[in-house]
Amino acid sequence: MARERRRLLMARQRLQAGGGTLALDPEESRYLTRVLRYGPGDGFAVVDGEGQLWQARLEAADRARLEQPLDQPHQRQPAPRPALVLAAAVVKRDFELVVRMAVELGVDRLVPLLCERTAVLGQIKAERWRSIATEAAEQCERLWLPQIAEPTPVADLLASASGLRYWATTRVTGVPELMEPLEALPAPTEATAVWLACGPEGGWSPAEEERARAAGWQAVGLGPRILRSSTAAVAGLALLSSWRVRRCGC
């Protein structure tokens, strides 16, 4: 019985540098040989995070070889459109879980937000979040690696974001639920990106709410209950992902 081909994500530059031979770093070697118990001759898959996949075969604990030429990948996939962008406030304890679940749900870009009421424990480590995103992309078999931006102040986000922009809020009357404006969009939509911004545990400040309205963000709700910040981010993205699958098939 053939073994399942588990995946490793390697940057395009590494694949090009090896010319078909893959030099495995210690963590990759440990994963293949000790966690998966692969040996010479066992096959796995390599993804470049840019929509391409190759089959590979382990030659030694620290070395493998691609089974297809670099310019002829075994699988190629266009980038999902429209891109799903989650701007989520950094929270005290759950942000690593938000990153992992967002990647599994299909986020294409994640922007960690620094808000007036942001409260964190310890240092903010964007590189740690990127490592988690890579692991999650391998686990859920994505061909495109989501971008994890540097922590961004809300004011900078409001001034730079473009596309369809939704601002998750609570306790505001007359606000539509997120799916209402999405379902009203024509099919196929011409939008290149759909943004969802979710605030911190203490909620958006009045000044942030006002700046978002002035910048053209549409306030939306995420249901009848008051959610934790991390829950709201994941729940909102799940709605976006489901909508994109139904509307665009990706």
Band (121; pLDDT cuts 50, 70, 90): low
Band (122; pLDDT cuts 50, 70, 90): low
Residue 7: what are its φ and ψ, rounded to 5°? -115, 145
Tens digits of residue pLDDT in 180-208? 999 998 877 778 999 999 999 889 999 99
Distance, CA of 236 to CA of 238 (rounded, Å): 5
Q: What is the CATH number of domain 83-248?
A: 3.40.1280.10
Tens digits of residue pLDDT in 123-171? 678 899 999 999 999 999 999 999 999 999 999 999 889 889 999 998 8
Cα distances (angstroms) measured from residue 15 to each of 42, 54, 153:
19, 10, 35
pLDDT of residue 234: 97
Give the whole-number percent of the chain exceeding pLDDT 90.
78
Whether 83-248 and 7-76 are alike in CATH topology: the answer is no
Q: Is the pLDDT of residue 3 over 70?
A: no
Distance, CA of 229 to CA of 140 (rounded, Å): 24
Residue spans per domain, the chain = 7-76, 83-248
Q: Are 197 and 166 in contact (CB under 8 A)?
A: yes
Beta bridge partners of 20: none
Assign 3-class secondary structure to the chain.
CCCCCCEEECCHHHHHHHCCEEECCHHHHHHHHHHCCCCCCCEEEEECCECEEEEEEEEECCEEEECCCCCCCCEECCCCCCEEEEEEECCCCCHHHHHHHHHHHCCCEEEEEECCCCCCCCCCCHHHHHHHHHHHHHHCCCCECCEECCCEEHHHHHHHCCCEEEEECCCCCCCCECHHHHHCCCCCCCCCEEEEEECCCCCCCHHHHHHHHHCCCEEEECCCCCCCHHHHHHHHHHHHHHHHHHHHCC
Report residue 164 CA to chain centroid gap: 18
CA trace torsion 55, 58, 64, 70 (10° rounding):
-10
Band (1; pLDDT cuts 50, 70, 90): very low
Tens digits of residue pLDDT in 81-109? 999 999 999 988 889 999 999 999 999 99
Helix axes 95-105, 126-139, angle to 10 degrees: 40
Q: Which amino acid is at 64?
A: A
Band (119; pLDDT cuts 50, 70, 90): confident
pLDDT of residue 70: 93
The domain 7-76 is placed in CATH, from the list 2.40.10.10, 3.30.1490.100, 2.40.240.20, 3.40.50.10110, at: 2.40.240.20
Q: Are 64 and 57 in contact (CB under 8 A)?
A: yes
Q: Which of 18-22, 23-27, 209-213 has the lowest mean pLDDT?
A: 18-22
Q: Is the pLDDT of residue 2 over 60?
A: no
Q: Are 215 and 158 in contact (CB under 8 A)?
A: yes
CA atoms in the 13 A half-sphere facing the CB of 9 = 20
* Tokens (6 digits) for 135: 């692991």
pTM, to two decimals: 0.91
Q: Is the pLDDT of residue 76 over 60?
A: yes
